[in-house]
Structures are given as C-alpha cells and as structure tokens.
Amino acid sequence: MKGICILGATGSIGVSTLDVVGRHPTLYKVVALTANTNIDTLFEQCLAHRPQVVVVVNEAKAAAFKSQLVGTAIADMEVLAGAEALSQVATMPEVDSVMAAIVGAAGLLPTLAAAQAGKTVLLANKEALVMSGDIFMQAVAQSGALLLPIDSEHNAIFQCMPAGYQTGSRAVTARRILLTASGGPFRQMPLDQLPSVTPAQAVAHPNWDMGKKISVDSATMMNKGLEMIEACLLFNMQPEQIQVVIHPQSVIHSMVDYVDGTVLAQMGNPDMRIPIAHALASPDRFDSGAEPLNIFSVRYMDFEEPNFERFPCLRLAYRAIGAGGIMPTTLNAANEIAVEAFLNELIRFTDIPIVIERCMDAVAATPADSLELILQADQHARALAHEIISGLTQ
C-alpha cells in the first residue's frame, strides 16, 4: 500500500487523480490533499478519501474550513494553512508518491521538496520544471527520486521509450520526439479575428477539459512551447530534436522516432486518467476508468506543421530555451502574468505574446544555477510584465 499526497487536489488533474486512486483502494492510501481556496470541493474529497492531513493555502479559507469540520465525521483531521505547509506534507514519511498538480510557479517549492526527499514525483505541473530546469533535474538525480510524467504527451513519450528508461537519461537510439498538439480552438480562425477573441472562447478547448490557465496556454500554443522545454529536460534532448506536430484529433499523444526508422506512438482517448493511471501503476498497469479507444470512430488522423505567425508563443519558447539561463523562467513568469491579465480582460489575446516578448527583450540570459537566482528572475519578470501591461492598457 502506497501513500499519496496530491498537491492541487481540487483542480482538474487533482480530481482525475482521486478518481483513479479511488478505483484502487488496496494499492493507494490518500495521506495528504492540498487546495488554494476551493474548500467546498476539498471538503467532499476529504469525506470520500479520509486523508490524514490537508493544506489550505489561503489562511482565511483555512480558518473557514476548520469550522466547517466541527461535528462532522472528519472533525479530527489535521488542517494546515499557508504555502510553507505544502512542502511539509509533500515530504511526510507516510508519503511515497506526490502528484504535483498545482498550476504555475506556486507549485515549484513543494514539487522540488518532494524531489529532494526522494519521493516518486508524478509531474503535471510543467511550469515548475520549465522555470527551474537543470536545478530540478539535478535534485531528482541526487536524491534518486523517481520522476514520472503526467502531461499526456510526455507520458506518451515515456511509454514509447526503450524498456527500463528513466527520465533525465538519454535514450541514444531515439533520434527525435514528435510532440503532438491539437492546435487549440483557434487553429483555423482567420488571423484578423484573433485580437477580439474572448476568455470564454479561449478556455473552450475542443478535445480536453482542463483548468483555465492551461486552456489559454493551449489556445496560444504556449502550452506546447512549455511542453517542448519540458521534453528537453525530461528526456535529455536538444530543442532541434523536438518536432511539434499539429494533430487536431488528439488520438496520438506523441511519438518517438528511432534511428532504425521505427516510429512508436501512444494512442488513447483524450482522458487524463490514462497517463495518471499509467504513472500510478508503473511499472505495471491498472484500470483508469477511461473509455477504451474505438479505433473505428477514428476515421482519419491529420498532421500539420505548426504556423509560427499564428502561434508566436511557440517561437518565443524556442527562443527562451535557445538563450538558456533564466530565459525559460522569464518566459514562464511573463506568460503567467499575461494570461491572468487576458482572463481579467485587461489585455487582448494577441497581447499575450507581446508582453512575453518585451519581457524577454528586457532581460539578459544570466545563469540559473541556484534556486535563489531562479526565484529572483521569476519575481523580476512578473514585475516587468505588470509594467508592460499597464503600458498597454493606458
């Protein structure tokens, strides 16, 4: 029986993880759950899964949550408040596996703490890896943590790697990764209409049901840019070895091209419970609850090259990893602020890459060889992005 901690339990990935874990009560015990503000969902999850401890990051919500517990079946459960408690629960001795499913940079410290503590890290929070890069991969290598990708593409690539492959190492017979992308909701929209798309249109993804931030990232294709950087780090490959492929049906979740000409692909319905179950059962397999793929309903599969004019964020991601140092951290931080401003209707959809590019132009790619430097670069880029946004909105 393994103990699991779910960072970001109340989000889209957190909910899917509890669904899978709930199907295998003899294999997994829920030790810790965390939420930022959504205490209603957290309360239901606690009743169903009986964790030992929960973290509510928002202090006022944590106090409200504690009073909600009085007189219920879970009145004795430990409730911690504040961001520091995230790292505390992620490194508890009772925890074997940590699902890193907080969105954005807020997930970095607890995910890194889990890696340093040698836990099995199930990584959905790609922003944490993109912003910390080599520091994160070094922590994994030093502690002997097992790092398993949850992002559907990276999980697919991992499944297509040679037997016994471990993340961070180089599969020398794999010459290229074909990283698939749906192209999001605006793949075919006339370019002159993009400036006026609304947040509601941007979060309505054609194939996947996800949190708001990653849905906007999918619409700009920054999600694929972050995933390209994620793939370079997880699979120890160069950016030129990662080819982004637009595949609107989302049946193939990515491919590995080998030196002998073999191309291996992983297929399945677009349901995040599949990669989650794969990582939870690894190296075995078990039921995920996902519908089996009806191959006859897949009438055809299309593959297109990405268009950098339509999707400038993808170009910016290649530029960031090419420059190295703190540039990926800057890209990620500027993107988080720009997406938030777009969701709050402060800037237009097409302003998102403008904000990020101006931030990158204003920063030198100095080394990112300590956590302090990374956190500094993150804060600096956020402040810059806010300034650029105020300039745009005046």
Residues 184-213 that bind Mg ion (CB under 5 A): none
C-beta of 151 vs 351, nearer to Mg ion: 151
Residue nearest to ligand NAD (CB): 11
Q: How far is the CB of 152 from Mg ion (least distance, A)?
A: 5
Query: What, of ligand NAD, Mg ion, none, does residue 211 touch, CB below 5 to 8 Å by kind?
Result: ligand NAD
Among the listed residues 183, 132, 129, 124, the one whose alpha carbon sits nearest the alpha carbon of residue 151: 124
Instruction: List the one residue from 127, 257, 271, 336 that touches ligand NAD (CB under 6 A).
Output: 127
Instruction: Give, in order, the Cα–Cα distances in Å from 250 to each of 187, 191, 298, 359.
Output: 14, 23, 10, 32
**168 is a contact residue toward ligand NAD (CB under 6 A):** no
**174 is a contact residue toward ligand NAD (CB under 6 A):** no
C-beta neighbour count of 385 within 10 angstroms: 24
C-beta of 17 vs 116, nearer to ligand NAD: 17
**185 is a contact residue toward ligand NAD (CB under 6 A):** no
C-beta of 165 vs 208, nearer to ligand NAD: 208
| φ and ψ at residue 264, rounded to 5 degrees | -100, 135
Quick one: CA dihedral 139, 143, 144, 150, positive or negative? Answer: negative
SS3 content of the chain, % helix, strand, coil (to 5): 50, 15, 35
Instruction: Give, in order, the Cα–Cα distances in Å from 40 to each of 43, 45, 103, 122.
Output: 5, 9, 19, 25
**103 is a contact residue toward ligand NAD (CB under 6 A):** yes
Quick one: CA dihedral 369, 389, 102, 162, positive or negative? Answer: negative
Look at residue 246 and give its three-state secondary structure. Answer: strand
Which of 6-14, 24-32, 328-336, 356-364 is the region at the interface with ligand NAD (rule: CB under 6 A)?
A: 6-14
**10 is a contact residue toward ligand NAD (CB under 6 A):** yes
Mark residues 335-374: x for contact with ligand NAD by CB under 6 A, - for none. ----------------------------------------
Q: How many residues bind Mg ion (CB under 5 A)?
A: 3
C-beta neighbour count of 227 within 10 angstroms: 28
CB 338 within 8 A of CB 385: yes
Tokens encoding 104 = 């954005």
Q: How far is the CB of 124 from Mg ion (least distance, A)?
A: 9
Instruction: List the one residue from 5, 32, 54, 57 that touches ligand NAD (CB under 6 A).
Output: 57
Which of 124-132, 138-146, 155-163, 292-300 is the region at the interface with ligand NAD (rule: CB under 6 A)?
A: 124-132
Chain centroid to CA 189 = 26
Q: How many residues bind ligand NAD (CB under 6 A)?
A: 25
- Rounded Cα gap, residues 376 and 385, in angstroms: 14
Mark residues 321-360: x for contact with Mg ion by CB under 5 A, - for none. ----------------------------------------
Quick one: CA dihedral 306, 309, 313, 315, positive or negative? Answer: positive
Counting every residue written for the chain, the total comes to 394
CB 56 within 8 A of CB 84: no
| φ and ψ at residue 242, rounded to 5 degrees | -110, 115
Chain centroid to CA 131 = 12
**151 is a contact residue toward Mg ion (CB under 5 A):** yes
Residues 201-240 that bind ligand NAD (CB under 6 A): 208, 210-211, 214
C-beta of 208 vs 308, nearer to ligand NAD: 208
**217 is a contact residue toward Mg ion (CB under 5 A):** no
Which of 100-108, 160-168, 296-304, 327-335 is the region at the interface with ligand NAD (rule: CB under 6 A)?
A: 100-108
Instruction: Give, in order, the Cα–Cα distances in Å from 193 to each of 98, 188, 197, 309, 349.
Output: 42, 10, 7, 14, 10
Mark residues 11-40: x for contact with ligand NAD by CB under 6 A, - for none. xxxx--------------------xx-x--
**331 is a contact residue toward ligand NAD (CB under 6 A):** no
Q: How far is the CB of 172 from ligand NAD (least distance, A)?
A: 28
Interface residues toward ligand NAD, by CB under 6 A: 8-14, 35-36, 38, 57, 101-103, 106, 124-127, 151, 208, 210-211, 214, 272
Interface residues toward Mg ion, by CB under 5 A: 151-153
